């Protein structure tokens, strides 16, 4: 570029700045929200999530915004670590001046941010973390959680598993940290309640992303089980499935598997997805309701891609906050929190209510069996399991909240 054209470019840029500034001043000051998630660390799950809330944002602003003001989301990477996430949360709150935050995926990030929210008295809607400590033992007034947690999803699978008469000897395989441990503990407890004859005869605890699948499959096989409960996901799941198939682990056995019906985790397996597994997930291709159809259509038009569970979570999360502010009639934090408690939001998968007792939403999940259709994993024989039927009752919640 020559000098002259540089000058021109600068002049043009300045002009744009000035005019847009003027335009901004005319419009209503936007309502700013802070959003952060593991966009670089766990892109497979979080990019669809971002598309989800982006769609919601556009819908809201097209419909005139919230309280007559446009909504603006300031989005950040959370660095996929608690310390980095706290720095980002602090940046959003202190520098950007937002006092409502949503997002996060990893449980330990969610837990750290929820405590930050309590300390700084800002609202935090933990969109995706699965740990139930967020709602119960570590719960606080400033933190809400949208996605159904480990306990609820394990309960759904336990219910299905209990129906299988000849599945008596169970083995479990789960990642070796809180998520896996809580899922296995809940599954064991709930299944034993329904089926006292069930025994658990073996367990495997691979490190997240570190599975030695051959050895793990061998060890499970050696316990000679009737059924397997799986909590591994991501590339661990792929490895587990491949080794299990080659070594015949799944032949004639029941497998119940957490999250494995969610497109983000199962679609990479393509035609190799295991058939017959009982899973929780999101059969976006088969949900036939007007609300979901309209969501699906809009989503596919906008992003030229199909939604994942994360998309749904992002979409509902932002709509929840928008509605809470609308209902509160203000953007003031305490009022929005008050309004979010007990609030019911219409969503593509039906109404979602944030319970007052633990500020956990009763968003449900889909339970069904995996199969492969046209080279892609699909859930069949599925049903929608509303979260309210699986969440512990108030008395139990109080007990859990008391414990640490």
Partner 1 sequence: MDLLLQQLLTGVASASGLFLVASGLTIIFGVTRIVNFAHGSLYMLGAYLAVSLIDLFGGGHLGFWGGVILAMLAVGLIGALFEITVLRRIYQAPELFQLLATFGLVLVVQDVTLLIWGPQDLLGPRAPGLTGATQIFGLRVPVYDLFLIAFAPLVLLVLWLLFNRTRWGILIRAATQDQQMVTALGVNQKWLFTGVFFLGAALAGLGGAIQLPKGDANLHMDLQLIAAVFVVVVVGGMGSILGAYLAALLISLIRVLLITNAQLTFGGIAAWQMELVSMFLVMALVLIARPWGLLGRREVASDQRSGTPEPRLRPADATLRIAGGLLLVVLLGLPWIVGSYFLSVATEALIFVLFAASLQFLMGVGGIISFGHAAYFGLGAYGVGLAVRHWGMSMEVALLAAPLLAGVGALVFGWFCVRLSGVYLAMLTLAFAQIAWSIAFQWIDLTGGDNGIIGIWPPDWASSVTNFYYLAGAICVIGLLCLRHLAFSPFGYTLRAGRDSPLRADALGIDVRQHRWFAFVLAGVFAGIAGGLFAYLKGSVSPETLSISLSIDALVMVLLGGVQTLTGPIFGGALYSVLKNELISLTNYWRSILGLIIVLLVVLFPQGLAGAAESLRGRLGTSR
Least Cβ distance, residue 387 to partner 1 (angstroms): 22
- Between residues 268 and 350, which has the closer beta carbon with respect to partner 1? 268
Least Cβ distance, residue 26 to partner 1 (angstroms): 28
Least Cβ distance, residue 88 to partner 1 (angstroms): 6
What is the DSSP secondary-structure string of 53-83?
A: HHHHHHHHHHTT-BTTB-EEEEEEE-TTSHH
Round to whole Å and give the CA distance between 331 and 322.
Answer: 9
Structure tokens at 94: 């202190």
Least Cβ distance, residue 86 to partner 1 (angstroms): 5
Residues contacting residue 103 through CB under 8 Å, at least 6 positions apart: 35, 36, 37, 49, 78, 125, 126, 127, 128, 317
> Contact positions toward partner 1, by CB under 8 A?
39-40, 43-44, 46-47, 76-77, 79, 81-84, 86-88, 90-91, 94-95, 107-108, 111-112, 114-116, 119, 131, 133, 138, 176-178, 181, 202-207, 209-210, 212-216, 218-219, 222, 234-235, 238-239, 242-243, 246-248, 264, 267-270, 272
Residue keyed to tokens 């996929």: 80
- Between residues 219 and 286, which has the closer beta carbon with respect to partner 1? 219
Least Cβ distance, residue 388 to partner 1 (angstroms): 26
Least Cβ distance, residue 163 to partner 1 (angstroms): 28
Task: Please name the helix (run of DSSP H) or strand (run of DSSP E) that holds residue 228, with its range, or none.
Answer: strand 227-230
First to last CA, the chain: 64
Round to whole Å and give the CA distance between 154 and 93.
Answer: 35
Round to whole Å and give the CA distance between 298 and 60.
Answer: 13
Least Cβ distance, residue 312 to partner 1 (angstroms): 17
- Between residues 115 and 326, which has the closer beta carbon with respect to partner 1? 115
Least Cβ distance, residue 52 to partner 1 (angstroms): 14
Round to whole Å and give the CA distance between 109 and 83.
Answer: 8
Least Cβ distance, residue 307 to partner 1 (angstroms): 14
Kindly calculate the radius of gyration of the chain based on its CA atoms and give it in whole angstroms: 23
CB atoms within 10 A of CB 339: 18
- Between residues 90 and 294, which has the closer beta carbon with respect to partner 1? 90
Residue keyed to tokens 């982006």: 54
Give yes or no for a contact between 104 and 36, defined as CB atoms under 8 angstroms apart. yes
- Between residues 120 and 298, which has the closer beta carbon with respect to partner 1? 120
Beta strands of 251-375 (E only): which ranges? 254-261, 278-281, 344-345, 352-353, 365-373
- Between residues 239 and 319, which has the closer beta carbon with respect to partner 1? 239
- Between residues 210 and 373, which has the closer beta carbon with respect to partner 1? 210
Round to whole Å and give the CA distance between 113 and 88.
Answer: 10
Give yes or no for a contact between 101 and 123, defined as CB atoms under 8 angstroms apart. yes
Round to whole Å and give the CA distance between 206 and 232.
Answer: 8
Q: Give, in order, the Cα–Cα distances in Å from 232 to each of 102, 134, 199, 236, 373.
A: 26, 21, 21, 6, 23
Structure tokens at 144: 């809400």
């Amino acid at each position: 570029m020559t000098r002259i054209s540089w000058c021109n470019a600068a002049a043009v840029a300045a002009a744009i700045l000035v005019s847009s500034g003027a335009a901004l001043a005319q419009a209503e000051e936007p309502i700013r929200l802070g959003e952060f998630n593991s966009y670089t660390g766990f892109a497979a799950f979080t990019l669809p999530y971002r598309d989800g809330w982006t769609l919601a944002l556009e819908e809201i602003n097209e419909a005139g915004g919230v309280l007559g003001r446009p909504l603006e989301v300031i989005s950040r990477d959370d660095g996929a670590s608690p310390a980095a996430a706290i720095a980002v949360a602090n940046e959003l709150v202190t520098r950007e001046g937002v006092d409502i935050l949503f997002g996060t995926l990893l449980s330990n990030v969610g837990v750290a941010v929820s405590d930050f929210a309590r300390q700084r008295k800002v609202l935090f809607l933990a969109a995706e973390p699965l740990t139930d400590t967020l709602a119960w033992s570590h719960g606080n007034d400033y933190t809400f959680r949208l996605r159904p947690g480990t306990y609820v999803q394990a309960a759904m699978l336990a219910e299905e598993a209990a129906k299988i008469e000849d599945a008596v000897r169970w083995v479990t395989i789960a990642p070796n940290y809180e998520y896996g441990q809580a899922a296995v503990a809940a599954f064991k407890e709930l299944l034993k309640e329904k089926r006292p004859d069930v025994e658990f005869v073996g367990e495997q605890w691979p490190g997240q992303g570190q599975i030695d699948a051959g050895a793990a499959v061998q060890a499970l096989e050696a316990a000679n089980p009737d059924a397997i409960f799986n909590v591994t996901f991501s590339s661990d799941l792929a490895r587990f499935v491949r080794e299990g198939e080659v070594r015949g682990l799944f032949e004639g056995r029941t497998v119940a598997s957490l999250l494995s019906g969610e497109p983000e985790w199962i679609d990479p397996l393509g035609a190799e997805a295991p058939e017959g597994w009982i899973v929780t997930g999101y059969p976006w291709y088969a949900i036939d309701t007007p609300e979901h159809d309209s969501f699906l259509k809009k989503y596919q038009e906008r992003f030229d891609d199909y939604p994942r569970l994360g998309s749904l979570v992002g979409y509902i999360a932002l709509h929840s906050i928008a509605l809470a502010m609308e209902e509160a009639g203000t953007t003031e934090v305490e009022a929005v929190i008050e309004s979010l408690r007990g609030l019911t939001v219409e969503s593509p998968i039906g109404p979602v209510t944030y319970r007052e007792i633990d500020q956990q939403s009763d968003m449900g999940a889909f339970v069904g069996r995996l199969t492969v259709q046209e080279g892609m994993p699909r859930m069949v024989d599925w049903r929608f399991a509303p979260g309210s039927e699986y969440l512990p009752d108030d008395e139990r919640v109080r007990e859990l909240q008391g414990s640490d």
